[in-house]
């Protein structure tokens, strides 16, 4: 399985993707630094808002979307999935390896700039750790969702961006109903509770339900993607 | 009695309005079998169904008595060389074949991978990425990943594509050896000469239907024993046509433009022997002798039409 992990990692990690996201992370940190040096900003409140909106609600889902839709999706699109699918390995194991490959690149790509941003903005320890836990759990939930999405949907990147921008950032912010089926809603609620800050918009879920939902989304995502993979028509 | 390892029972496969396979029934046992047919005949669809990569729209397929779509046991004993050329980017041959061995549960994946790569006459120490390999080398890497676990059933979709004549001959010898050792080896090809080299049992697939089956010599005979249509251009087509009408080797004659006569014959070799002498007797100069239906496509079309009720 380690050989498969390495191949999946090399398939999805390209220099262009890495450079683009490192630049995105650097931009986030630059804005965080501007909060620290600004005379008008409240470091705790504005730092939390920046990390919530820019890091948790935008940067994390986009980074995870790009890498997780390609982990199995690229193999399915270019016809190389056959070299994995036709082996006597349970589909859930293949999905877990794909997720491990995705997370081993998305976690550092999202956590490091978020940590640096928190330090540069000068937020409290509560906000720092709240953000860290939220980013990790959001990574898990988004990765499980988008891996299956990439496997089954052509142009998954475009549809995934539609989900992040139109659903999560738009429709889900309009009320509790649509927010309940948004990963962002639970990640932001968790961040707000742990950071002891006011949750933005409709993000009002309690602490433990938020944790449970994010972990459950990961488990359900793995299960659904495993079933999709086992029933996949392979080129 | 030979046990069929691959049982194909009245399968059909369609993609929307396109029918790829229709009512194909065959049993394939141990040894080397060739699947011959022109491009678009349904060979790859049949192979994908046999490997469980897709389900038939109708009918059933059994591999060693099991459904290949759902059986993990089938995947343990099956090796496939798929038709698509693409291989994972950013890896070299040993990494790729080691991954295959590892996923097959081999106890020493890298040792098995080295052996398989050497079997296809590549260097396991070559650190270049597969994208830097020639088409023939990539084709041999695909064969290596298929044989790395010493499968009982080996299915190869156009495996000789892209190989030079020497490599083609060496790989053909490998397939013959693997078949002779008792494995079930199914090789698809659209090139008659490749199948001739393999000298195996042959299934002929055309227009999604099984057009013929038997050993290569029987198939060759079938291909030869059919009406051939030949165009003859000459200095005096009418004189040649009247001369040909009296010939026992010719079943039909018609004149065409450009000083040409088109004839049908069931006995192409005797006809070719007789033709120069006849032209000499009639004092007619032959300008061109061109077979009109010797391409494989028309041969397959004939076989399909012959089998249709």
Q: pLDDT tens digits for B293-302?
A: 666 666 777 7
A120-134, B147-161, B204-218, range with the lowest pLDDT:
B204-218
Looking at residue B126, its pLDDT comes to 95
Residue ending a domain, choose from B217, B247, B270: B217
Query: Same domain, yes or no, for B72 and B137?
Result: yes
> Do residues B54 and B195 both lie within one domain?
yes
Which CATH number characterizes residue B143's domain?
3.40.50.300
Cβ <8 Å between A3 and B98: yes
Question: Is B53's CB within 8 Å of A78's CB?
Answer: no
Alpha carbon of A6: minimum distance to chain B alpha carbons (Å):
9
Return all residues near A9 (Cβ < 8 A) that are at least 6 apart: A101, A104, A105
Beta-carbon separation of B80 and A85 below 8 A: no
Instruction: Kindly report the three-state secondary structure assignment for every residue of A42-68.
Output: CHHHHHHHHHHHHHHHHHHHHHHHHHH
Check whether residue B10 and residue B116 sit in a common domain.
Answer: yes
What is the distance between the alpha carbons of residues A100 and B132, in angstroms, rounded to a whole number?
Answer: 28
* Chain B residues touching A4 at Cβ < 8 A: 99, 102-103
The reply to whether B282 and B210 lie within a common domain is: no
Position B1 pLDDT exceeds 70: no
Domain boundary (B181, B199, B217) is at B217
Q: Would B1 be classed as within a structural domain?
A: no
Mean per-residue pLDDT, A165-172: 86
| Per-residue pLDDT at B50 exceeds 60 | yes
Helix (H) or strand (E) holding B252: strand B252-256
Single out the residue of A21, A27, A50 nearest to residue A110, CA to CA: A21
Q: What is the pLDDT of residue A5?
A: 92
Per-residue model confidence (pLDDT) at position B308: 61
> pLDDT grade, residue B232 (50/70/90)?
very high
Task: Tell me whether 0.90 is exceeded by the ipTM.
Answer: no
Nearest to B196 by CA among B229, B218, B167: B218
Taking CA atoms, what residue in A is nearest to B110?
Answer: A3
More confident site: A231 or B309: A231
Residues B188 and B292 in one domain: no
Among chain A residues, CA nearest to B70: A230
Domain identity same for B75 and B180: yes
| CB A147, CB A110: distance < 8 Å | no
Range in A5-9, A30-34, A216-220, B191-195 with the lowest mean pLDDT: B191-195
SS3 B305: helix
Q: How close does chain B come to A228, measured CA to CA in Å?
A: 13
Residues B285 and B191 in one domain: no
Residue B106 domain flag: yes
The answer to whether residues B212 and B236 belong to one domain is no
The verdict on a CB contact (< 8 Å) between A234 and B53 is yes
| Mean pLDDT over each residue of chain B, to the nearest integer | 90
Q: Which residue of B has its CA nearest to A7?
A: B91
First to last CA, chain B: 30
- Sheet of B209-215, strands arranged across: B78-81, B153-157, B184-189, B31-36, B201-206, B209-215
Q: What is the CATH number of the domain that holds B278?
A: 3.30.70.100
Tell me: do B243 and B210 sit in the same domain: no
Confidence of residue A203 (pLDDT cuts 50, 70, 90): low
Q: pLDDT for B252-275, tens place per residue?
A: 898 888 889 999 888 877 888 889
Domain that holds residue B287: 225-307
Structure tokens at B155: 């299915």
Q: Which of B167, B199, B217 is the last residue of a domain?
A: B217
Residue in A closest to B95 by C-alpha: A3
**Could A87 and B75 be called an inter-chain contact, meaning their C-beta atoms sit closer than 8 Å?**
yes
Does one domain contain both B58 and B149? yes
Using CB atoms, which residue from B54, B84, B90 is nearest to A10? B90
Instruction: Please report which helix (H) or strand (E) contains residue B210, including its range.
Output: strand B209-215
Are B169 and B288 members of one domain? no
Q: What pLDDT, in 10s, does the model give residues A14-50?
A: 899 999 999 999 999 999 888 888 877 778 888 888 8
Among the ranges given (A69-83, B76-90, B260-274), the one the predictor scored with the smallest mean pLDDT: B260-274
Cβ pair A79:B90 closer than 8 A: no
Which region among B59-73, B114-128, B270-284 has the lowest average model confidence (pLDDT)? Answer: B270-284
Number of structural domains found in chain B: 2
**With 90 as the cut, is the pLDDT of residue A232 above it?**
yes
Whether residue A7 and residue B105 make contact (CB cut-off 8 A), yes or no, is no
């Amino acid at each position: 399985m380690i050989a498969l992990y390495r191949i999946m990692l090399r398939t999805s990690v390209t220099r262009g993707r890495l450079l683009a996201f490192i630049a995105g992370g650097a931009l986030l940190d630059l804005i965080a630094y501007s909060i620290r040096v600004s005379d008008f900003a409240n470091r705790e409140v504005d730092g939390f808002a920046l990390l919530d909106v820019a890091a948790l609600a935008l940067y994390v889902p986009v980074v995870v979307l790009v890498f997780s839709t390609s982990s199995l999706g690229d193999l399915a699109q270019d016809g190389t999935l056959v070299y994995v699918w036709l082996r006597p390995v349970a589909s859930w194991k293949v999905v877990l390896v794909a997720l491990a490959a995705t997370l081993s690149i998305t976690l550092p790509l999202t956590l490091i700039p978020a940590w640096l941003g928190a330090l540069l903005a000068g937020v409290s320890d509560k906000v720092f750790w709240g953000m860290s836990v939220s980013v990790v759990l959001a990574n898990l939930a988004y990765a499980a969702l988008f891996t299956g999405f990439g496997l089954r949907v052509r142009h998954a990147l475009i549809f995934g961006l539609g989900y992040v921008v139109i659903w999560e950032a738009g429709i889900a912010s309009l009320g509790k109903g649509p927010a309940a089926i948004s990963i962002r809603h639970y990640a932001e609620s968790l961040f707000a509770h742990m950071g002891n800050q006011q949750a933005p918009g409709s993000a009002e879920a309690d602490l433990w339900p938020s944790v449970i939902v994010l972990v459950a989304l990961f488990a359900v995502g793995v299960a659904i993607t495993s079933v999709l993979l086992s029933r996949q028509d392979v080129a | 009695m030979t046990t069929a390892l691959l049982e194909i029972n009245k399968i059909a496969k369609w993609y929307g309005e396109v029918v790829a396979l229709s009512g194909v029934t065959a049993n394939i046992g141990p040894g080397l079998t060739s699947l011959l047919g022109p491009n678009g005949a349904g060979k790859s669809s049949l192979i994908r169904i046999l490997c469980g990569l897709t389900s038939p729209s109708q009918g059933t397929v059994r591999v060693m008595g099991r459904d290949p779509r759902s059986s993990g046991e089938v995947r343990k004993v099956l090796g496939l060389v798929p038709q698509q050329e693409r291989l994972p980017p950013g890896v070299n041959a040993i990494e790729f074949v080691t991954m295959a061995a590892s996923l097959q549960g081999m106890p020493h994946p890298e040792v098995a991978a080295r052996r398989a790569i050497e079997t296809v006459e590549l260097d396991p120490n070559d650190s270049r990425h597969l994208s830097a390999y020639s088409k023939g080398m990539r084709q041999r890497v695909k064969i290596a990943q298929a044989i790395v676990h010493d499968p009982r059933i080996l299915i190869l979709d156009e495996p000789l594509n892209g190989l030079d004549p020497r490599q083609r001959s060496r790989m053909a010898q490998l397939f013959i050896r693997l078949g002779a050792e008792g494995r079930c080896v199914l090789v698809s090809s659209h090139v008659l000469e490749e199948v001739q080299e393999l000298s195996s049992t042959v299934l002929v697939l055309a227009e999604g239907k099984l057009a013929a089956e038997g050993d290569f010599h029987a198939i060759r005979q079938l291909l030869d024993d059919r009406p051939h249509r030949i165009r003859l251009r000459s200095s005096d087509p009418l004189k040649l046509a009247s001369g040909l009408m009296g010939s026992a080797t010719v079943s039909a004659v018609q004149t065409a433009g450009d000083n040409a006569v088109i004839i049908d014959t069931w006995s192409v070799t005797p006809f070719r022997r007789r033709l120069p002498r006849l032209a000499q007797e009639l004092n007619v100069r032959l300008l061109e002798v061109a077979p009109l239906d010797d391409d494989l496509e028309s041969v397959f079309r004939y076989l399909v039409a012959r089998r249709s009720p």
